Amino acid sequence: MRLIVVGGGIAGLAAAHRALEVARERGIALDLAVVEARERLGGTIATERADGFLVEAGPDSFLSEKPWALALCQRLGIEDRLARTDDRFRKVFVWRAGRLHPLPDGFQLLAPTQLRSFVTSRIFSWPGKLRMAFDLVLPRGIADDESLGAFVRRRLGREALERVAQPLVAGIYTADPDDLSLAATMPRFLELEKRDRSIILALWRASRKAPQAGTSGARWSLFVTFKDGMEEFVTALASRLPAGAVFLKHRVTGLERSGAGWRIACDAGAPLEADRAIVTTESHVAGRLLRYVDPALATLLGEIPYASSATVSFGYRRMDVPHPLDGFGFVVPRAEGRALIACTFSSVKYPGRAPEGHALLRCFVGGALNEAILELEDAALIARCRDELRQAMGITAEPVLTRLHRWPAAMPQYHVGHLARVEAIERCVAALPGLGLAGGGYRGVGIADCVRSAEAAAERALQNR
């Protein structure tokens, strides 16, 4: 069987690896190719070592509570290369009214679970706190899907949305909460409301059952990375591919049916023939590639919007950073009118990210709510980030290292109705034998979700020979 995987990001590599595993299990002679437009594998995952700093250009970790990426690491035999967060510094700050305020202990993304820390928090006004308390008596909602913004306003009020939920969600999805589908991104809260009615009560009950942080004996923290950066994941997967299976700098320009199989046209050389094809690009790119195969499918794929963003990493001498760096970082509400979405204290969150006596900070800008900031030239964007770090943390010194990475149209936006669109896409794909789609545009944007999507596509591709 000839299988071609279009795209060499984490989804493409995971699909290729799983296809090889399944082929060995079933005794299938698999002829595999991974076709990638860039000159390197990994997609948005890229790690650089410079002057003792370890800088992540894109994703810096994956979620351990979603099992698929962790399970893949175990099968690859690289579990010993994983590193957990330093949970002594789990605190997250919110930049509000010119100051960094700690998020109340026990605050779980949308709502509080610990009364004392919530009541004493300066992030919320007293009217805002009282409005959040109304969640305890409000009735259940009736919609199967609504925007996250509408959900939080309805249950917890405007302050809860603007001062905490929006910036925390922006740090994950770079999205506008008034567009973001609750069912597609945070179905847990939809389920909690249906089951327990009150979100605060449901989270409080769950927190009472859960072991306290640092006492569970769990091997992994919520966020997990690699000792030498996320590119270790890419390298490990690439090393398992057969010699000659990877075609770099081969931009795919279209797919078409070829008998019972597929013909993949590239801008470098003759078309490639395949029995099966798995497309792991961004969904809008997949739509362009399939426009002549199924125009309706191409339209559905093109309707999934994507946002652009950038990361700006700064290395400083530790003595030049007045802030105690006693947390993982801070998030910035859109209402504050800042360029920054968030800032991660990378050298605090993970070991080995900065040389002794130094600190590494990583800023995030852009996203669906402020893509206009990305129109700035590199120097102006860096200067803007430095100025806001000065205001937030008092840093006036020159950084000893600066790295800017731009990611145009790279983050899928799961708008209300996203799951219905994905179901329609899946029906179209099911009618095209030998074709699979995988990646972050469909049922989860994180690395673990991409691995799940990719492995499922690979297993389907090899089901029917």
SS3 string, the chain, reads CEEEEECCCHHHHHHHHHHHHHHHHHCCCCEEEEECCCCCCCCCCCEEEECCEEEECCCCCEECCCHHHHHHHHHHCCHHHEEECCHHHCCEEEEECCEEEECCCCCECCECCCHHHHHHCCCCCHHHHHHHHHHHCCCCCCCCCCEHHHHHHHHHCHHHHHHHHHHHHHHHHCCCCCCEEHHHHCHHHHHHHHHHCCHHHHHHHHHHHCCCCCCCCCCCCCEEEECCCCHHHHHHHHHCCCCCCEECCCCEEEEEEECCEEEEEECCCCCEEECEEEECCCHHHHHHHCCCCCHHHHHHHHCCCEEEEEEEEEEEEHHHCCCCCCCCEEECCHHHCCCEEEEEEHHHHCCCCCCCCEEEEEEEEECCCCHHHHHCCHHHHHHHHHHHHHHHHCCCCCCCEEEEEEEEEEEECCECCHHHHHHHHHHHHHCCCCEEECCCCCCCCCHHHHHHHHHHHHHHHCCCC
- All structural domains of the chain with their residue ranges: 2-44+236-304+414-461, 103-209, 306-411
Who's near 204: CB < 8 A, 6+ residues apart?
A: 113
Phi and psi at residue 413, to the nearest 5°: -110, 115
- pTM comes to 0.93
Who's near 3: CB < 8 A, 6+ residues apart?
A: 19, 30, 31, 32, 33, 274, 275, 276, 277, 278, 461, 462
Phi and psi at residue 412, to the nearest 5°: -65, 145
Residue 219 pLDDT: 62
| Superfamily in which the 306-411 domain is placed by CATH | Protoporphyrinogen oxidase, mitochondrial; domain 2 (3.90.660.20)
Q: Which fold has domain 103-209?
A: protoporphyrinogen ix oxidase, domain 3 (1.10.3110)
Question: CA torsion sign, 441 to 445 to 449 to 455?
Answer: positive
Low-confidence ranges of the chain (pLDDT < 50): 212-218
Residue 365 pLDDT: 97
- For the segment 112-161, what is each residue's pLDDT rounded down to a tens digit? 888 888 899 999 999 999 999 999 999 998 888 899 999 999 999 999 99
Strand partners, 62: 224
Strands 340-345 and 329-331: antiparallel
Residue 205 pLDDT: 85
What is the CATH class of 2-44+236-304+414-461? Answer: alpha beta
Residue 144 pLDDT: 83
- For the segment 55-64, what is each residue's pLDDT rounded down to a tens digit? 999 999 999 9
Residue 90 pLDDT: 81
Residue 313 pLDDT: 98
Q: What letters, b where the CB count within 10 A reaches 16 and e where it falls short, cover 140-162?
A: ebeeebbbbbbbbbebbbebbbb
**Residue 251 to residue 247: CA distance in whole angstroms:** 9
Q: Say how many C-beta atoms besides its own lie within 10 A of residue 463's C-beta.
A: 9
Residue 464 pLDDT: 64
| CB burial of residue 401 (10 Å; 0-12, 13-18, 19+) | middle
